[in-house]
Structure 1
């Protein structure tokens, strides 16, 4: 695990025999992707709320109501942050092609192809949020994208809201 969190043993906590072998999952600290405040993820029995990015429904609604396609843009930038920065060794940042971004966006129930993903990435590159690297070769060279290193610590929903 990334944060070295361990389950809490019920027998150690209460010292009673009926709690032997009963473990609670620890609260995982996260930062809200809209306002930046600290909140905790709690493992629920049915999986509700254990994969949140926002501290409350109000923060989630702010990004959904920011503009016409603000939720789509937020999720594209989140794909770049999560698959680009957090899953690479030594946090160097992996460059992603537009077709990789589009394929991942289809997992989030967004209709997206590589050209529409590239258009959104070019828009955020002009705003200074995304970097573009042009690959050599062929009449139509492919471009790869990644989130700028200075943007990684800023909440992404706040960036999207500020530009809508």
Structure 2
């Protein structure tokens, strides 16, 4: 639980940085840096050329990190449900919270997969547009589409708050 809590805080700080920063990352910092934490990225992100659509790549990496963390949250919720149903303690409140967290996590995973697909399609569309006319006039319009709408960001923060509250509640019960 502590590890998930730390990863959640790291994810929140990464999102704040990536959404608040529209500049290109410095050449000294690799775009897939994971701040010393072991993690895995999808083969699509790992195989992406380092300089192809900077904002797009940063957003894709951020979404992939979120997806990986959410997959871990889902696995943790599944493990918690399994241990609560097979164990001696039959805490129905904790079981209900774990099931709610699992449902939220599944929904979030589907949402993140949809966003990743959308960013990839935007990248393909951008490369097709640039190959057909060769100018960068719609670059700003393309990059503005990468930032999620305010409603999505609010929902994301609410989701994280529920997860963090569940982590704190679970830590109290240990």
Tell me whether the two structures share a fold, i.e. TM-score over 0.5: no
Query: TM-score, structure 1 length as denominator?
Result: 0.26
Bigger share in helix: 2
Bigger share in strand: 1
Q: Which has the larger radius of gyration?
A: 1
Q: Which has the higher contact order (CA 8 A, sep 6+)?
A: 2
